[in-house]
Chain A
Amino acid sequence: MSALRFVLAGALLVTGVMLELVVLARWSMPGATPDLVLVVVVGLAIARGPLMGAGAGFAGGLLLDVVPPSAGIVGLNALVFCMAGFWVGRVAERNERTPLLIIGSAVVAEIGVILAGAALGGLLGEDRVAWEEVPGLALTGALYAAILASFVVPLITSLVGRTEPDYFSR
């Protein structure tokens, strides 16, 4: 893994976290907050495979867990995003990179992250989980993830592809 790739992925993740907390969350969209961090993780996973997906998911989830104003269990999002990133990377590795794959994997990843986050949080004693809101959150989250993925993932794949043109050429 080249250093430049790490730095670029790190910069994309930090930018995604900042944009999500400072811009997207403040807009108060109905339902879930558009999960730009997860879409960035999905983009990196599609561009670079399951290893990058798992690492980016871990880093992005951990950032969401600790950067203010976080108040949940530290490590929960790291766990869930890591699994999502790994799964998306696996799927992208084995299939052709079509728009359906991009949007579909983002939607499934977002729904999975919301459900798993709520379930694990509830199991671990997080008092705040409101189960009656979870379906609404999952649906709106999936919608926003689909919209974001349609332009963020191609942007990421072109950015990451440009730094190392001789790697995955599919």
Chain B
Amino acid sequence: MRENRRTRVIFGVLLLIAMTLVVLDLRDSAAGNDEGGIRGFATRFFGPVETAFSAVVTPVRNVVSSIGSWGSKDQRIADLEAENARLRGELATSDYDRNRLAQLDKLMHLAGVGQYRVVPAQVIAVGPAQGFAWTVTLDAGSRDGIKADQAVVTGDGLVGRVLSVGPSTATVLLVVDSTSTVGGRVEASLQIGFVSGLGKESELSFQLRDPFAGIKVGDRLVTFGVKGGVYPPGIPVGTITSVKGTPGQLTRYASVVPFVDPSALDLVGVVVVAPRTDPRDSVLPVRPTTSPSTTPSPAASGSPSPRSSTSSSSSSGSSSASPSAAASKSGP
């Protein structure tokens, strides 16, 4: 019975401590203090642990996931089983490396075309789905020049913004999170509005500022880029898939599918220096159909080329060949 009473007392104490933490956190976030003591301490301590875990686990994970595709490959394996298994192991690893290199290339291309200066980082941890928050952890932090409220991109487009920073890790809020809002602009027009996350993996909501604006399915969105705001201008956000409401109706909004798949994030870049001029639509990929709407305006196309020599290079010093090649590609 004493054991029982002691258990109950300790249980009650633990519940009380938990409730106190909740109240303290509510009070802190109401006052706008994001990086509270305990979370900051946990970031400093567990960030490197997560990075180490990820470094160990990721190559294993990629070899394991490639095992699934073995059965669909050639049948001649049966004869030289051991030799082929070894070769396949090597192939799986270099497939993984090729993938990473392609992601990095794409990221540097976007950075070069838009003249953003990015710090590449890898996603090492993701928040659990039952927390309803879409957040990820990167393995770069304040030591790499990352600060809170910087935009995060991949070669495909906008990923989100940095919520908080530790010495060697950073927490990113994805655009699809329901508390995320980005100023957006429709491609090749001056229509602006707000792109909000809905907590859904592949849908954002775009609310137009002008209810009479003409937008249609298939229009693409880039970030608007308020001066001094969080998101630099010109980063691709997504494509409009449906428009609800009629022109003039008070609630006129569109569904947008983001360019970036939030469940397949691996290599991302944090924009540490925004471009000096607005890249307008030059970062959007050329549309495969005949629509001329992706031609960048003459003012914007003039500036990237002479700047290619001082163009964005990541702080890891990766190839400077791609930004200048990309800048010349955006010329016409």
User: Does chain A have a CB within 8 A of B217?
Assistant: no
Write out the residue numbers on chain A whose beta carbons fall within 8 Å of the beta carbon of B6.
51
Residue contact A61 to B130, C-beta cutoff 8 Å:
no
User: Does chain B have a CB within 8 A of A83?
Assistant: yes
User: Does chain A have a CB within 8 A of B286?
Assistant: no
User: Does chain A have a CB within 8 A of B327?
Assistant: no
Q: 8 Å CB contacts to B: which residues of A124-149? A: 124-130, 133, 137, 141
Residue contact A71 to B173, C-beta cutoff 8 Å:
yes
Residue contact A18 to B50, C-beta cutoff 8 Å:
yes
User: Does chain B have a CB within 8 A of A26?
Assistant: yes
State in angstroms the CA–CA spacing of A73 and B36 once bound together. Answer: 11
Residue contact A61 to B18, C-beta cutoff 8 Å:
yes
Write out the residue numbers on chain A whose beta carbons fall within 8 Å of the beta carbon of B54.
22
Q: Which residue of A lies closest to B6 (CB)?
A: A51
Write out the residue numbers on chain A whose beta carbons fall within 8 Å of the beta carbon of B75.
none
Choose among A23, A51, A70 the residue that contacts B127 (Cβ–Cβ < 8 A): A70
Instruction: Using A23-B57, A55-B14, A68-B169 as known contacts, say yes or no to A130 and B132 having CB atoms under 8 A apart.
Output: yes
Residue contact A22 to B50, C-beta cutoff 8 Å:
yes
Write out the residue numbers on chain A whose beta carbons fall within 8 Å of the beta carbon of B237.
none
Write out the residue numbers on chain A whose beta carbons fall within 8 Å of the beta carbon of B163.
69, 71
Residue contact A75 to B21, C-beta cutoff 8 Å:
yes
Instruction: Using A71-B131, A73-B26 as known contacts, say yes or no to A128 and B50 having CB atoms under 8 A apart.
Output: no
Residue contact A128 to B127, C-beta cutoff 8 Å:
no
Residue contact B22 to A124, C-beta cutoff 8 Å:
yes
State in angstroms the CA–CA spacing of A35 and B130 once bound together. Answer: 9
Number of interface residues of B (CB under 8 A): 57
Q: Give the Cβ gap from A49 to chain B, nearest Cβ, in Å.
A: 8
Write out the residue numbers on chain A whose beta carbons fall within 8 Å of the beta carbon of B207.
none
User: Does chain A have a CB within 8 A of B61?
Assistant: yes
User: Does chain A have a CB within 8 A of B25?
Assistant: yes
Residue contact B57 to A22, C-beta cutoff 8 Å:
yes
Residue contact B130 to A22, C-beta cutoff 8 Å:
no
B48-91 Cβ-contact flags toward A at 8 Å (1 or 0): 01100110010001000000000000000000000000000000
Residue contact A70 to B11, C-beta cutoff 8 Å:
no
B101-143 Cβ-contact flags toward A at 8 Å (1 or 0): 0000000000000000000000111111111110111000000
Choose among A18, A75, A86, A133 the residue that contacts B22 (Cβ–Cβ < 8 A): A75
A101-133 Cβ-contact flags toward B at 8 Å (1 or 0): 000000000000110011001001111111001
Residue contact B171 to A71, C-beta cutoff 8 Å:
yes
A19-38 Cβ-contact flags toward B at 8 Å (1 or 0): 11111011010011101000
- Shortest Cβ-Cβ A-B pairs, 5 listed: A75-B21, A66-B42, A28-B263, A79-B18, A75-B22
Known: A22-B54, A26-B126, A66-B43. 4 other contacts (CB 8 A): A65-B21, A66-B41, A68-B46, A75-B22
* Pairs across A and B, CB under 8 Å, 27 listed: A14-B49, A18-B50, A18-B53, A21-B126, A22-B53, A22-B124, A33-B130, A35-B130, A51-B7, A54-B11, A55-B10, A66-B46, A67-B46, A68-B171, A70-B127, A70-B131, A70-B171, A71-B163, A73-B26, A75-B18, A75-B19, A76-B22, A78-B21, A117-B131, A124-B26, A125-B26, A130-B132
